[in-house]
Amino acid sequence: MATVRFTSHLVRHRPLPGAVAIGGTVAEVLAAVFAGDDLLRGYVLDDQGRVRKHVNIYLDGALIADRLRLTDPVGPQSEIYVLQALSGG
Amino acid sequence: MATLWVGSRKGLFRFDDGPGGWQVAGPPAFLAAPVTVLLDDPRDGALYVALAHGHFGCKLHRSLDRGASWEELKPPAFAALATTDAPTVEMLWCLAAGGADEPGVIYAGTLPGALFRSADRGQTWAINQPLYDRPERARWFGAGYDHDGIHSILVDPRDSRHLVLGVSVGGVWITHDGGQTWDLGGRGFVADYIPPAQAEDLVMQDPHLMVMSPSHPDRIWCQHHCGIYVSDDGGRTFRESRDVKPSSFGFGVAVHPRDPDRAWFAPAQKDECRVPVAGKFVVTETRDGGRSFAVHDHGLPTGPAWDLIYRHAFVIDSSGERLAMGSTSGSLWVSGDGGAGWQHLSAHLPPIAALAFAP
C-alpha cells in the first residue's frame, strides 16, 4: 500500500481522502484515491489527466518523471506527496 | 434593496444598498481565490461563481440560497485525447443564462476558446462541437492570455436558439439554430494589429466585449480592441463611432435596458498604454447610438488615477439608472443616476475582474 499525502492547501477546497492506496503506478494509486471524489481529481490533474502545471508530485523523495501519464512505478512502501508548486500562486 | 456581487482576484464580495447606503455585506466568499466571472441567473436566482486557482485550475461553484452556502460543480472540460498537446480548460471567461423558455440552461465560454452548454444548472456540460470543429478556429489566437477565449455570449430574448458570441481573438460568431450551425459576423470591424490587407478579416477581430440591447436585440454594442462599434442587425455588420474623446479604447460596455441608443464605456488610452488618458479617469456615455459622447467625472478621482476597468467589471442593472464599475487597482464605484455621478465604495479591494447586480 502506497501512502499518499496532500498539501494542506487542498484542505480548504476538498475533504482529503484516506492516505493509503494500492497501485503499480502513480496514476493507479491516485485513481484509487480519487475514486470517491471526482472533483478532487480536477485539482491535481487537468482535463487530459496530466499533472497540473503548478502542481508537483513527489515519489519517494523525487519529482515524478512522467507528468503526462504518471507511469512512474510505485512500490508497496512508496510515499507520494502531492504539493502545490511555488510557481502559479 | 439592491445587491452587487464583486468578483475579485482574492474572492467574492457582496455589497448591499440598504437604508444606510451601500455597505459591504458579510465576509467574502472564496477568500484568496481568483474569481473570473459571475452569473446571477434572473430566472431562478441561482448564483454561479467561476474561480481560477493558481495551482489547482478552474472551478465552478453554485449557490441556491443567495450566497449563504455553496456547492462545487464539475466545470466544463475538454474530452481526453491521446495527443500530448490536447487542450484543458484554463479559465471560465463567461457565464450566461439561456432563454426564459429554457429553465436550467446556462452557457460557458472558456479559455482556450470553446462554448459549453449545461441543461441542468451546471451539473453537467457538453461542448458545442459544430463551433469547435469550424476550420477557422485554427486561426483564433490569444490576446492578453496565452489562448483565445469566448468572453461574450448573447442570447436573443426573442429566440433562445439565436446566440451571438464574442471571441478574443476570433471575431463574432452567430447561430440561429441553437448552435448546430455558425456564421461569422463582424463586418465593418477594422483591426490595426494585423497587416493592412487582413485588417477586415472577420476571424482576426478582437471584440473585447459585446452587449445586446434587451429591448431591441438587433442592437449590439461592441468595445472592440480598435474602437467602439455598434450593430443594428444582430452583429452581422457594425459601424464605428469615430472621434470619441478622450479615447475609444477600453474593455467594458453597458447598454441601457430600454434605450438601445444609450451606452456607457470606461476608456483607457490605448493598447500599449492601458491607463486613463493623462491619468484622468472618466466614463463616457452616448445617448444617440454612438454619434456623440458625453464625459462624466463627477465623483470620480480629481487627481491622477490609473484605474483600468476590465470587460466584465462594468455593469448596469435592470432599472437603467444604477451602474457599477470595479478597477484592476481595487476601486469600486456605483452610480445611481445613469452614470452622471459616481460614489466610491472602496479603494481597498483586490483587483476586480467581474461584477453582477442581483436581478
A55 at B interface, C-beta within 8 A:
yes
pLDDT for A12? 87
CA gap B304, B313 in Å, rounded: 21
Mean pLDDT of B237-243: 97
| Mean pLDDT over each residue of chain B, to the nearest integer | 97
pLDDT for A83? 95
Chain A residue numbers with beta carbons less than 8 Å from the beta carbon of B84 are 68
pLDDT band for A19, please (50, 70, 90 cuts).
confident
B59 at A interface, C-beta within 8 A:
yes
Interface contact flag, B89 A47, Cβ < 8 Å: yes
Mutate which: B10, B49, B51, B56, vs A, most A CBs within 10 A: B56
Interface contact flag, B80 A47, Cβ < 8 Å: yes
Chain B residue numbers with beta carbons less than 8 Å from the beta carbon of A42 are 56-57, 59, 74-75, 77
pLDDT for B235? 98
pLDDT for A87? 83
Chain A residue numbers with beta carbons less than 8 Å from the beta carbon of B78 are 47-48
The per-residue pLDDT for range B85-138, each reduced to its tens digit, is: 899 999 999 999 999 999 999 999 999 999 999 999 999 999 999 999 999 999
Mean pLDDT of B33-57: 97
Mean pLDDT of B318-346: 97
Peptide bond into B27 cis (omega under 30): no
Query: Distance (Å) from the C-alpha of residue A47 to the closest C-alpha of chain B?
Result: 5
The per-residue pLDDT for range A24-83, each reduced to its tens digit, is: 999 999 999 999 899 999 999 999 999 999 999 999 999 999 999 999 999 999 999 999
With beta carbons less than 8 A apart as the criterion, state whether B333 and B324 touch.
Answer: yes
* Residue B139: alpha-carbon gap to chain centroid: 22
pLDDT exceeds cutoff 90 at B302: yes
- Long-range contacts made by residues B78-85, C-beta under 8 angstroms, separation at least 24? B78/A47, B78/A48, B78/B114, B78/B127, B79/A47, B79/B127, B80/A47, B80/A48, B80/A49, B81/A48, B84/A68
CA gap B162, B265 in Å, rounded: 26
pLDDT for B272? 87
pLDDT band for A23, please (50, 70, 90 cuts).
very high
Give me the interface pTM, i.e. the ipTM.
0.94
Determine how many CB atoms are found less than 10 A away from the CB of residue B123: 12
pLDDT for B84? 81
A89 at B interface, C-beta within 8 A:
yes
User: Out of B54, B72, B88, whose CB is closest to A48?
Assistant: B88
Backbone conformation region of residue A40, classed left if phi is above 0, alpha if psi is from -120 to 50, else beta: alpha
The per-residue pLDDT for range B215-233, each reduced to its tens digit, is: 999 999 999 999 999 999 9
A69 at B interface, C-beta within 8 A:
no
pLDDT exceeds cutoff 80 at A17: no
Backbone torsions φ then ψ of B174, nearest 5 degrees = -130, 135
CA gap B128, B133 in Å, rounded: 9
The per-residue pLDDT for range B182-192, each reduced to its tens digit, is: 999 999 999 99
Interface contact flag, A85 B59, Cβ < 8 Å: no
With beta carbons less than 8 A apart as the criterion, state whether A84 and A9 touch.
Answer: yes
Interface contact flag, B56 A47, Cβ < 8 Å: no
The per-residue pLDDT for range B314-324, each reduced to its tens digit, is: 999 999 999 99
Interface contact flag, A46 B88, Cβ < 8 Å: yes
With beta carbons less than 8 A apart as the criterion, state whether B76 and B88 touch.
Answer: no
A48 at B interface, C-beta within 8 A:
yes
A52 at B interface, C-beta within 8 A:
yes
Interface contact flag, B78 A88, Cβ < 8 Å: no
Counted across chains A and B, CB pairs separated by less than 8 A come out at 52
Mean pLDDT of B33-49: 97
pLDDT exceeds cutoff 80 at B311: yes
The stretches of B129-285 forming alpha helices (DSSP H) are 129-132
pLDDT for B98? 98
The residue among B180, B146, B179 whose CA lies nearest residue B165 is: B179
A41 at B interface, C-beta within 8 A:
no
CA gap B244, B242 in Å, rounded: 6
The per-residue pLDDT for range B246-274, each reduced to its tens digit, is: 999 999 999 999 999 999 999 999 988 99
